[in-house]
Amino acid sequence: MRRIFLFDENSLNSSSGARTVSQSINFSSGQASGTQDAFAGIFEDHPGLNPNAERVVELQCVIREKFEALTQDPEKALIMAEASHGESDNIPFMEFIVDDLTQNGVSGEAFQEALNLVGQSAASPLDQFEIVPLIPMNIGNFYFSFTNSSLFMLLTLSFFLLLIHFVTKKGGGNLVPNAWQSLVELLYDFVLNLVKEQIGGLSGNVKQMFFPCILVTFLFLLFCNLQGMIPYSFTVTSHFLITLALSFSIFIGITIVGFQRHGLHFFSFLLPAGVPLPLAPFLVLLELISYCFRALSLGIRLFANMMAGHSLVKILSGFAWTMLCMNEIFYFIGALGPLFIVLALTGLELGVAILQAYVFTILICIYLNDAINLH
C-alpha cells in the first residue's frame, strides 16, 4: 500500500489543505523490478504530487505560526511566511528557516530576509499618493487630522507669500524690476490677458472683480503641481477629493454669478433657440446633465493627469534604478534607455504640471463667460 498526499497549492499555508489518498499497487514476484517505473507513472499522471507533501505542508504551517508569534499580526505573518519559503518543497531549507526563527527570532537571518522581501514587494507606484496623518485629531467620528496633504498646501501658501515678500520688500517700485518682480509681473499679466480675452460682454472694471479669484486659483494649482515634481514631496492635486472640492466650489460660484446677473432667465441657456417643441424636454435634460458634469470633468481632468504622470515616472524610475544596481555590465547598459526615458518623462511631466494649471484656469474663464453671456 502506498500513501500519496494531494494538496491544493492555494491552501499550502493551512494544515487542512492536505489530504491523503491510498492507492494500492500490486506487484507479482516478477514485477518487483518495475516498482520504480510504477511510481514514476503515478507522478506523471499527477505532476503536482510530492511524496513529501505532508512534511512540506507541516513546515509551512510551522513557519507561519513562528512569524505570527513574532509579529503578532496574522496577515503580515502570512505574507512574510510566503515570502520566506516561496512555496518551496525543499525540506532542509524550510527546516533551516524554522530553526533560525526558533533560535534567533526577529534578529535572525530568516526573519530579516523575509522582512526585506515583504518591503520590496509592498512597494507600489501609488504609495506616493497616500495621505498620512501627521497630527491625529478627532472629535467622536469627525476627523480633523493634520496630514501630509495639509502640510504641503501650507508650504504652497508659504512659498507664495515668500514670493510676494521678495517683490514688495526688495523689488517693489524699482524702475528696473529684479528677477522676482519680473516673475510675478509675468504671471499677473498672463492671467489678466486670459480674463480679458475669454470673458466678454463686460467692461474692464467689472472683469477686474473676477480677476483675483482666477489669479489665486491659477497660482495655487501651478505651485501645487510644480511642488509635486520635487522628489519625496506630495502632489496635492493628485487626489480626486481635493480637485473635486476646488472645481465644485468654483462652479457653484459661477452659477451664483449667473443667477445674480440674469435671475430665472439664467435657465434659458438650457434650451437653445429654434429647437422644435417635441425635442425640448430631451434637450433641456441633456443640457442640464452636460452643465452639471462640467464641474466633475474639471476635477477629474486635473486629478487623472497628475496621478497618471507621476505613476508612470515612478514605475520607469524604479525599473531604471533596478537595472543600474545590477552587477552585470549588460544590465547597466540596458538601463541607459529607461534612464533617458525617465529624464524625458520628467521634462514632459513638468510641462503637464504647467499646462494643467492653464487648462483649469481657462476653462473657469470659459464657464464664467457662458454664465454671464448665456452661451
Does residue 135 form part of some domain? Answer: no
What string of H, E and C letters represents the secondary structure of 75-138?
HHHHHHHHHHHCCCCCHHHHHHHHHHHHHHHHHCHHHHHHHHHHHHHHCCHHHHHCCCEEECCE
Q: Cell 512555496 identifies what position?
A: 87
- In this structure, are 282 and 214 located in the same domain? yes
Distance CA 168, CA 174 (A): 10
On whether the pTM is more than 0.75, the answer is: no
- What three-state secondary structure class fits 52? coil
Please give the pLDDT value at position 256: 93
pLDDT at 299: 92
Which residue segment(s) compose the domain that 264 sits in?
A: 146-373
pLDDT of amino acid 19 = 40
Instruction: Give mean pLDDT in consecutive 10-residue pieces for the chain, a chain of 375 residues.
Output: 39 40 38 40 46 77 86 80 76 86 84 73 70 83 85 90 77 68 87 86 72 92 91 89 93 92 85 79 88 92 91 82 66 69 87 94 92 81
Residue with cell 504671471: 187
Question: Does residue 100 fall inside a structural domain?
Answer: yes
For the chain, the domain total comes to 2
Q: CA angle, corner 37, sides to 36 and 42, nearest 5? A: 100
Q: Is residue 15 part of a domain?
A: yes
Asked if residue 110 belongs to a domain, the reply is: yes
141 domain residue, yes or no = no
Q: Please check whether residues 115 and 155 belong to one and the same domain.
A: no
| 319 and 172 inside one domain | yes
| C-beta contacts of 203-211 below 8 A and 24+ residues apart | 210/368
E-state strands within the chain: 2-7, 18-23, 133-135, 138-139, 142-143, 146-147
Residue 260 in domain? yes
